[in-house]
Amino acid sequence: MPIATINPATGETVKTFAPATSGEIDSAIAHAYQRFADYRRTSFAQRAQWAHATAALLEAEAEQTAAMITLEMGKTLTSAKAEVLKCAKGFRYYADHAEALLADEPADAAAVGAAKAYARYQPLGVVLAVMPWNFPLWQAVRFAAPALMAGNVGLLKHASNVPQCALYLADVITRGGFPPDCFTALLVPSTAVEDILRDRRVAAATLTGSEPAGRSVAAIAGDEVKPTVLELGGSDPFIVMPSADLEAAVNTAVTARVQNNGQSCIAAKRFIAHRDIYDEFVDKFVEKMAALRVGDPTDPDTDVGPLATEQGRAEVEHLVDQAAAAGAVIRCGGKRLDRPGWFYPPTVITDISPDMPIFCEEVFGPVAAVYRASDIDEAIEIANATSFGLGSNAWTTDTAEQQRFIDEIEAGQVFINGMTVSYPELPFGGVKRSGYGRELSAHGIRAFCNVKTVWMGRD
Ligand code: NAP
């Protein structure tokens, strides 16, 4: 894939970038490694000051930055601006909480025959972050903010279609005051990842992206015995039971599916409605999905912009066409828009059978698959009938049902009467083939720390 800004709303190549040479990559790793030696000794107070300054710059520059995001990957300007502000919030959260989250953890000294015993969290060093284009700032910030606050330094290999976002993030972090080489954007293709990860100066890696990319990076890291966090795909269920507020459930279902033009790992992708409300849910859902305005992402009236890449749209189209040919029913959408750019309309599909690829594969576009469940057992069974386990959503006011969903859905997170969202305060991650490890919260900042046991005898 070329490293380039290609406007998804027009298909026009706006700017291309030369990939870093092997000498430039080596120099970036060397500089990051040297920087870690002194950066790790900076105080939490000093890092917090830089993180707050970075947040302030993100806030001040939100309009221009949002325009850059929209240009590179096609989300609406409104969502792009919200993303930039969320990044500022992420920096501020870790600026304010890192020291407490990484405070020494006292242990029972007497039980281990010590005068004093505790666990200390220490940074690991240079961490490689391989990131996707769908939230081009937020995905990288939710690694960068905790990692930097913990005293690590970062090397960012961003997706090839968002080079300007990558360069901006490294620049804003440096302008915020973090010392040079604390956070470097390397414009490289995915084929360069293996050598970087195998470099002895690189201590660990995090990857957010597809399952094949995660598998490849995990295999290399495993071979090198380096820790990884993997945030991979999802095919999140959205269950609606008869007791739910149907109007609210339908409105949230629409947002949960089409957020980010349908390209979010935690978008609800499979809708499971109880048979008693199935017909009503489908009718209302189809009506609202079909009414969404698809078009220019810079127009404030647009609800859904283009998909980010031509290949991404082709994959969505293929899954839908295959399902329709095998007997699934397209309730709305289902045909690409006849205009330049990579537009695909909000689509609702019913009557899907398990032998159709759309049943088990992640659909990374505004396409909703709706299933009918005869009872809660079947709803949970369908929810878990996937190799993914990232987010999940269940709508019911019955407390016994709520507890069953919380206990039995196989996912990294369950949202009751709401939709899955990432917050700095809550752990984020998946189970099964959605990956392992956690970002955000205390878990996220500790992911790239050495939990060092300290045992002190009597003097
Ligand atoms: P992708 O193709 O896997 O790309 C993600 C990143 O990995 C890019 O930087 C890409 O570089 C790189 N990459 C691709 N193949 C690689 C390989 N074999 N070795 C090393 N690096 C490799 O994913 P995407 O299509 O951009 O993003 C969509 C996927 O990400 C979806 O599955 C979505 O669910 C998932 N996602 C997950 C989360 C989460 O938190 N769990 C969040 C957002 C997205 P190039 O661009 O140069 O190929």
Domain CATH code at residue 69:
3.40.605.10
Does 227 lie in the same domain as 264? Answer: no
Q: 183 and 280: one domain?
A: no
Mean pLDDT, the chain, integer: 98
pTM for this predicted structure: 0.97
Indicate if 139 and 252 belong to the same structural domain.
no
What pLDDT, on a 0 to 100 scale, did the predictor assign at position 210? 96
Q: Are residues 215 and 306 in the same domain?
A: no
- Indicate whether 405 pLDDT > 90: yes
Tell me what pLDDT residue 83 has. Answer: 98
| Together in a domain, 329 and 415 | yes
232 lines ligand 1 (CB under 6 A): yes
Residue 1 has what pLDDT? Answer: 80
CA of 420 to the centre of ligand 1 (A): 20
- Catalytic residue (choose from 87, 265, 332, 449): 265
Task: Decide whether any atom of ligand 1 lies within 6 Å of the 216 Cβ.
Answer: yes
pLDDT digits (tens, 9 = 90+) for 201-213: 999 999 999 999 9
Number of domains in the chain: 2
Q: Are residues 418 and 441 in the same domain?
A: no
Q: Are 272 and 339 members of one domain?
A: yes
In this prediction, residue 114 has a pLDDT band, given cuts at 50, 70 and 90, of: very high
Region 109-129: what's the mean pLDDT? Answer: 98
Nearest CA to ligand 1 atom 35: 209
**Are 197 and 247 within one domain?**
no
Could you list the residue range(s) of the whole structural domain that residue 91 is in? 4-232+434-456
**Pocket lining: 190 vs ligand 1, CB cutoff 6 Å:** yes
Same domain, yes or no, for 42 and 109?
Answer: yes
Do 369 and 448 lie in a common domain? Answer: no
Ligand 1 close to Cβ of residue 133 (< 6 A)? yes
pLDDT digits (tens, 9 = 90+) for 181-199: 999 999 999 999 999 999 9
Catalytic-residue membership of 231: yes
pLDDT at 101 over 90: yes
- The C-alpha angle with vertex 153 and arms to 147 and 156, in degrees rounded to 5, equals 90
392 close to ligand 1 (CB < 6 Angstrom): no
Same domain, 305 and 213: no
Res 436: pLDDT: 98
Q: What CATH code is carried by the domain that includes residue 334?
A: 3.40.309.10
Question: Which two tokens mark 63?
Answer: 């309009």
Give pLDDT, residue 261: 98
Known catalytic membership, residue 211: no
Same domain, 293 and 309: yes
- The Å distance, Cα 283 to ligand 1 centre, comes to 35
- Which of 83, 231, 410, 439 is flagged as catalytic? 231
Dist. CA 66 → ligand 1 center (Å): 21
How would residue 459 be classed by pLDDT, with cut points 50, 70 and 90? confident
Work out the percent of the chain whose per-residue pLDDT is above 70. 100
